[in-house]
Amino acid sequence: MGKNVRIKQILYGIVTGAVLVALWCMSANGKSKEKETYSIVCFGDSILGQVRDEYGVVGLLEKKVQKSVFNGAFGGSHMSRINSAGELANMQDCLSMVALAEAITYDDFGPQQCATFRGFGTEYFEEVIDRLAQMDLEKSEILLIEHGTNDYNYGVPLVNEKDPYDQYTFTGALRRTLTLLKDKYPQLRIILVTPTYCWFPQWGYTCETYKPSGATLLDYIEAEKQIAEEFEVEVIDNYHLFSAAGGDYLHYTVDGLHPNDLGMEVIADSIFQYLQGNP
């Protein structure tokens, strides 16, 4: 009799545990349905992502438009994939715009949530990924995509003549990104924001003379404009915002690339003025 009682206790414990697990899963699923909503969602690299307070580009833009704006930019990220080994959770690949577009479209941020982020400037990555996974773009008005500088600097090929959708090229990744997002969210207004003029003072180069892939930064921007026309999306051309400074890279940037306080204000105001003039 004692043995039977013991077996019953074990079975009861198993059943109770299963019920508790089921209840927890139901609760977790319920929470996952509580989506975040923003009027404007921004994707990009460190130009938008490095400074994330009210004095950064996105914070300044939010004050100007007086609408909710989410900063989904990741410093060091690209438009394209660059990890030819094909590791799904590779940090640089899973944060590329084309990878994020796939995660958004298929509602699967598994590779991003499994990736390991180390190093300076990655402290916010996990939180932003988790919030993106809970975001409802159906209720957003505008999606801003600011990419190109890192693709250019890294020497990512501009185009693959044999495969216009090659995700390891800048133009192929952009085409794939726009295809996914426009199919998934036809109501969403997508606006591309070009890189700004930049300098490389440590080498004595500017983006007009430095060609790591054989193309200048302006070549990437011209290709971006062509694809925007192809997909009927808008473009805010910020390339010439800083070039008026001539050789004085410290006028608008801290290092030739990343905007200083004035540079961030100029970029935010450029986006705001465009939105005001093109409601």
Among 63, 40, 36, which Cα is nearest to 236's? 40
Could you say which residues of the chain have pLDDT below 70? 1-33, 84-91
State the CATH number of the domain containing residue 239: 3.40.50.1110
Statement to judge: residues 18 and 46 lie in one domain:
no
Statement to judge: residues 9 and 122 lie in one domain:
no
pTM recorded for the entire structure: 0.86
User: In the chain, how many domains are there?
Assistant: 2
Q: What is the pLDDT of residue 33?
A: 53
Domain encompassing residue 154: 36-277
Letter string b/e over residues 29-59, b meaning 16 or more CB atoms within 10 A of that residue's CB: eeeeeeeeebebbbbbbbbbbbbbeeebbbb
Query: With contact defined as beta carbons under 8 Å apart, do 31 and 20 qualify?
Result: no
Statement to judge: residues 117 and 11 lie in one domain:
no
Helices (H) and strands (E) in the chain, counts: 11, 7
Statement to judge: residues 132 and 249 lie in one domain:
yes
Q: What is the pLDDT of residue 14?
A: 47
Average pLDDT in the chain: 89
Statement to judge: residues 94 and 22 lie in one domain:
no
Q: What is the pLDDT of residue 6?
A: 52
- Residues 139 and 39: their CA atoms lie apart, in Å, by 7
Could you tell me the two tokens for 251? 């006028």
**Strand-by-strand arrangement of the 69-71 sheet:** 69-71, 40-44, 142-146, 189-193, 234-236
Q: What is the pLDDT of residue 129?
A: 97
